[in-house]
Each structure stands twice: as C-alpha cells, then as structure tokens.
Amino acid sequence: MSLVETKNENTMRYKCFNNNIALVTGAQRGIGLEVAKQLHSQGAIVICLDVNYPNKTLIEVSTHFYNVYADVADIDSIHSLIETIEKDIGPINYLASVAGILRVTSLLDIDENTLDALIEVNTKGAFFICRNVALKMKSRKKGSIVAVSSNAASTPRINIGAYGASKSALNMLIKTLALEVAPFNIRCNLVSPGSTLTKMQTDFASGPDAQKSILNGSLEQFRLGVPLNKMATPEDIANSIVYLLSEQALQITMHDLVVDGGATLGV
C-alpha cells in the first residue's frame, strides 16, 4: 500500500477535512500512519510528527503531506513547532495525538527512570500538545482533538501497570480539557485500543503462540480474552479516531471510545 492513496468517492466520506490542517503525532508507523493516510485521502493537509523522522524541519513529502522530527516529551520544542506550523502553513483544525511508549515491567521491579519516561511521553507530552493546540483553536472557536489512550487505563494489567497509570492520568486530563474548551466549540475525545497488530504489540508479546494467548486470555495473569476472537488492525483504530475528529461526531466530546473487541467487557 502506498503512503498516500488515491482519492475516490469512498475515501472522501468526511468532507470537513478538505483543505483543513490535521496534525498527527506518532505518524511514522502503525496507528498514527494509518490515521495520517486516512485524513490525507479525505482531503486534509496532514502534518506528521514522529521521533523516528530524520528531518528537523518540515518537509512536504507529497502534496499536502508533511513530516518532521518531533519528540512529544520535549514540550518547549513542540510548542515552537506548533507556532511554526500556524505561521507558515495555517491554522491547525484537527489533532490526533497518537504518539506513546510502552514499558513492560512489574510494579515491584520498576525503576524511577522507567516510570518517568512513561509519564513524560504518554501523559505530559500527549497532554501538552493537546493543550497547546487547543489554545490555538480557542481563538478561532473551532477544532477537534482525539488522544489515543489504552484499555489498560481502566483495567489493571500485570506488567503494564505503570503504562496503564500513565494513560489513566491522560484520560482525566483530556476529559477535563474537553470540559474547559467546550464553550469555544472545541471537542476533545479519547480512543482506547486493546491488543492491536502494531510493533508495540509485537514488542510486548512475540512468538508463535503470543496472539493465540492474547485472544484466549490468561487465568494466571487475570487477563480476559478477546470475545470477538481477533486482534484489531491499525485501520480499525484509525477508523474510530477519524470518525471522532469528523463532523459526524459533532455532538460527541469527553468520550472514551474503547476499541478492544470486548476484552474489557465494556468497563
């Protein structure tokens, strides 16, 4: 599949994105890349941020499709980048905050550096890019933001407790931000994936039986299986993100959409 797909009637279902600027973090691969591709196919001017891009300045890799190196944990640098985008390209109308990291360790063994890294990226980094973009949207009284969380934010998981905590904190920050910016016609929502076929997932659980184990669950780890008996794809998660960003969801804010095949039983 090419980076940018050809526009057609099926992919242009959300016309609100036409010629509007959409910012996507964690866009180099996985869910973020799929979100960026979908937004671009639906007419958006997409600006992709990722710590894995080599270029420190914005590069237009194809028409209306930019990428640039960005570390969301570097809050001052991200603030400057937002200023540059607004000055040189235009107002940011949509934000998908996808960037995040996973560290697998028992809470009994976790060290301070690991916990700090999770909080810096998943909580502080994600929140401040949402907050700083929301401040730009506030003056225009228009905008839509979606932050990616996790079903681990609401359900304890052995060995990813700190990750879940970093996402749980993000949930409260984004929901309260949504409440504060609602009078300015800005919507903020969350999408919480479960097990998804991304590099993060394979780094967490690899091997020939890993996927089967996830789908079946584990009594020893107090982990339920997946009722739908299948893993999500990045496209599955991106579909939900793009929907919440779009005008099809104009009356939805402060919502946490869990996309996990029923793994947390709707809790």
CA distance 106 to 112: 13
> Could you say which of 14, 66, 94, 163 is catalytic?
163
Sheet-wide strand order for 143-148: 59-62, 65-69, 45-50, 21-25, 92-97, 143-148, 186-193, 256-259
- Pairing relationship of beta strands 59-62 and 65-69 according to DSSP bridges: antiparallel
The Cβ of residue 56 has, within 10 Å, a number of other Cβ atoms equal to: 11
Residue with tokens 């960026």: 36
- Pairing relationship of beta strands 59-62 and 256-259 according to DSSP bridges: unpaired
Active site residue 163: yes
DSSP 8-state secondary structure symbol assigned to residue 5: P
CA distance 74 to 96: 18
Question: Is 90 within 8 Å of 21 (Cβ atoms)?
Answer: yes
Taken in order 163, 78, 39, 255, the sign of the CA dihedral is positive
Catalytic center residues: 163
